[in-house]
Amino acid sequence: MPLYIRKAIFYVSVALGLLSIISISLYIYGSQSTLPPKFTVAGWRVGGMPYDKFQEQFEERLRLLSAFPVQLQTSYPNIANRQLTLGQLGVEYHNDRLTQSLEKLFQAPPLERINARWQLRHTDIPLEVEVNQTQLSASVKEAWKDLYSQQPAPAKRIVTAQDTLNYEAERRVLRIDTVHLGEHLKEIAPSISYIHNAAPIRLTLPLYEQSPAVTVDTLKKQGIDRKISEFTTTFPASGEGRIHNIRSTAASIQDLLMAPGETFDYSKIIAQTETQFGYKEAPVILNGKLVPGIGGGICQVSTTLYNAVLRSGLAIVERRNHSLPVSYVTLGQDATFANGYINFKFRNNTDAYLLIRTVTTDRDVTVKLYGHMSPSVSYEIESNIVETIQPPVKYLHNASLAPGATRPISTGKPGYKVETYRIKRENGAIVSKELVSKDQYSPVPTLVASNRGDIKPEDGAADPPQPILEDGVKGPSFR
């Protein structure tokens, strides 16, 4: 065999040997069960440590950190100092990056393991510290139960017997600022390399005052500064049912607060009252006639409110007069209600809130409105009868009478057409006169029994297709 061939074989053999040695060395290097030299985890020197031992010590250190004490203290004598652990305070150590690095180091294919060991030989893998705010808040509330048992109390607007406005201040309570506390814990949470048996961490509790939603300031910003109108209607001695209905409906609008631009809807008040208190039996108006029913008296409240609204300059959105005159208010100044047909609505067209207050006795009901209106402004209401409608005569056939005879049954009552104006004054001088409404009240016919052939008898007019019930919620109710 020629010499040059023998040399070539020699050199190839040497190269293959060296390659084998390198391969074996790299395999041995990548297959080590220890951590790379000078490798650290959050400052903890673990280079050269067997993986199993590292895992065991790592879990133990995390356990010790979770149990590490934190002394939480304040300068308030009525708030006790407490000692809780980092774990109780929601401090968590996340090792996602470490887990990924160790997986490449011990579980990846050989070439990746070799590369990972080389890359990690001088590396420090940090642990991410997070605070579980839900856990922190729960632990704080449990540790300071007495503190959290105290609740803030809203401010109150007090209307005096003289109709002036006073305020009862709100009550604030101390609360622990868990957001800032969590940030502080993240900043000072000890590293995994922290020495054993170290003194507890001391932290000053961050506190703040929790205010209720309603404060004196928020109440004053509503702009209610005085009583702007008041109206009272009186009713004769009434049955228990009517008094109940009036009192209950008035109670439903007691302390009602209306924002600027908000519209009052009486139908909602009726529904609320019926649900909360229920209505009782009292006379109602059905198709222009008084009949037994349920809810009689509800229009006395709407009428009283309507008059207070008129005298405060508020905008009337919807309102109708009764079909018959009522005794407790001037013609043209009443406001009836018929469910599904007639409603009473008005709008708070001022820049301030409006507060409604009511006072009810067994003989009268009063509505007072509080808001903002210049003291130089006042309103007067003027109602004029522009036409009196004489009652017609209605003959009812009665065969028991002698032929040709008649007999009066009841005397009719006239009807009226009325115009109502709202007069605005500033410093006593009239500045405007607004036509508020044109109303018509139907006359009540005179009833005459008749058995005369020259007079065509009327046995009664047909009922309207859809009976309209006023001043009540149900009727008639005969027994």
> Angle formed by the axes of helices 3-30 and 110-119, to 10°?
70
Domain count for the chain, please give it.
2
Residue 194 counted as domain residue: yes
Residue 140 counted as domain residue: yes
> Each residue of 269-293: pLDDT tens digit?
999 999 999 999 888 888 777 788 8
* Confidence label for 25 from pLDDT (cuts 50, 70 and 90): low
Lowest mean pLDDT among 77-86, 186-195, 356-365: 186-195
Considering the domain architecture, whether residues 413 and 287 belong to the same structural domain is answered as yes
Considering the domain architecture, whether residues 255 and 187 belong to the same structural domain is answered as no
Domain boundary at 189, 210, 231, which?
Answer: 210
Mean pLDDT along residues 301-319: 97
Considering the domain architecture, whether residues 370 and 332 belong to the same structural domain is answered as yes
Length of the chain: 479
Residue 159 counted as domain residue: no
For residue 476, whether the previous peptide bond is cis, meaning omega lies within 30 degrees of 0, is yes
Look at residue 311 and tell me whether its pLDDT is greater than 50: yes
Residue type for 167, please? Y
Considering the domain architecture, whether residues 80 and 25 belong to the same structural domain is answered as yes
Considering the domain architecture, whether residues 180 and 271 belong to the same structural domain is answered as no
Residue 177 makes CB contacts below 8 A (sequence gap 6+) with 206, 207, 208
Is 308 or 471 the better-scoring residue by pLDDT? 308
Cα–Cα dist 284/272, whole Å? 19
Domain boundary at 163, 184, 210, which?
Answer: 210
Residue 124 counted as domain residue: yes
**pLDDT the model gives residue 340:** 85
Considering the domain architecture, whether residues 286 and 417 belong to the same structural domain is answered as yes
Considering the domain architecture, whether residues 237 and 190 belong to the same structural domain is answered as no
Residue 161 counted as domain residue: no
Considering the domain architecture, whether residues 301 and 200 belong to the same structural domain is answered as no
Considering the domain architecture, whether residues 335 and 240 belong to the same structural domain is answered as yes
> Each residue of 313-341: pLDDT tens digit?
999 999 999 988 988 999 999 999 988 88
Residue type for 157, please? R
* Confidence label for 479 from pLDDT (cuts 50, 70 and 90): very low
Residue 6 counted as domain residue: no
Structure tokens at 69: 């004490």
Residue 167 counted as domain residue: no
> Each residue of 412-470: pLDDT tens digit?
999 999 999 999 999 999 999 999 999 999 998 999 888 887 766 554 444 445 667 88
**pLDDT the model gives residue 322:** 92
When computed from its CA atoms, the radius of gyration of the chain, rounded to whole angstroms, is 45
Domain that holds residue 249: 222-470
Considering the domain architecture, whether residues 204 and 226 belong to the same structural domain is answered as no
Considering the domain architecture, whether residues 239 and 197 belong to the same structural domain is answered as no
**pLDDT the model gives residue 422:** 98
> Each residue of 183-242: pLDDT tens digit?
999 998 888 777 666 788 899 999 999 999 999 999 999 999 999 999 999 987 768 899
- Global pTM value: 0.76
Considering the domain architecture, whether residues 195 and 267 belong to the same structural domain is answered as no
Residue 475 counted as domain residue: no
